[in-house]
């Protein structure tokens, strides 16, 4: 078992600006995960944007606090606290904080080197 707190040094040392707009930290990543790519937390200030980008892995964004406009492959949806967004591998995606409070996002990603069925028993 591994337990991490967002204030642990292993987390804070990973702090970076994600895609031009959000302050992000890897809570768990390839240093310990085997079948997942990473589990991260990101804070997107009001008016900021996670710029449109493509990833080589499948992702899920979970809006923990705040609200925004999620864009995936040309589709736009208003999202708020409690929303989970599935982002297919290779999709162009981004998020704009349309609220007046920070938008806090949990991001979970698959490992790009695993293919469907690799984890089947």
Phi first, then psi: give them for residue 102, nearest 5 degrees. -60, 145
Is 91's pLDDT higher than 90?
yes
pLDDT by residue (tens digit) across 53-73? 999 999 999 999 999 999 999
pLDDT at position 120, please?
Answer: 43
- Nearest residue to 22 via CA among 101, 88, 86, 96: 96
On the question of pLDDT at 119 being above 80, the answer is: no
Q: In this structure, what DSSP letter does residue 121 have?
A: -
Structural domain boundaries in the chain: 16-102
Query: Cα–Cα distance between 50 and 79 in angstroms, integer?
Result: 14
CA dist., res. 50 & res. 23, Å (int): 10
Count CB atoms within 10 A of the CB of residue 66. 21
Average pLDDT taken over every residue of the chain:
93
Residue 116, pLDDT above cutoff 70: no
Question: pTM of this prediction?
Answer: 0.90
Q: In the CATH scheme, what architecture does the domain 16-102 have? A: Sandwich (2.60)
């Amino acid at each position: 078992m591994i337990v991490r707190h967002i204030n642990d040094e292993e987390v804070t040392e990973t702090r970076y600006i994600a895609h031009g707009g959000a302050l992000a930290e890897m809570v768990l990543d390839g240093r310990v995960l085997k079948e997942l790519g990473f589990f991260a937390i990101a804070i997107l200030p009001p008016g900021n944007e996670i710029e449109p980008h493509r990833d080589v892995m499948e992702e899920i964004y979970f809006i923990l606090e705040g609200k925004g406009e999620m864009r995936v492959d040309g589709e736009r949806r208003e999202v708020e606290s409690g929303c989970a967004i599935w982002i297919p591998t290779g999709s162009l995606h981004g998020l704009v904080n349309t609220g007046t409070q920070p938008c806090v996002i949990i991001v979970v990603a698959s490992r790009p080197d695993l293919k469907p069925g690799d984890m089947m028993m």
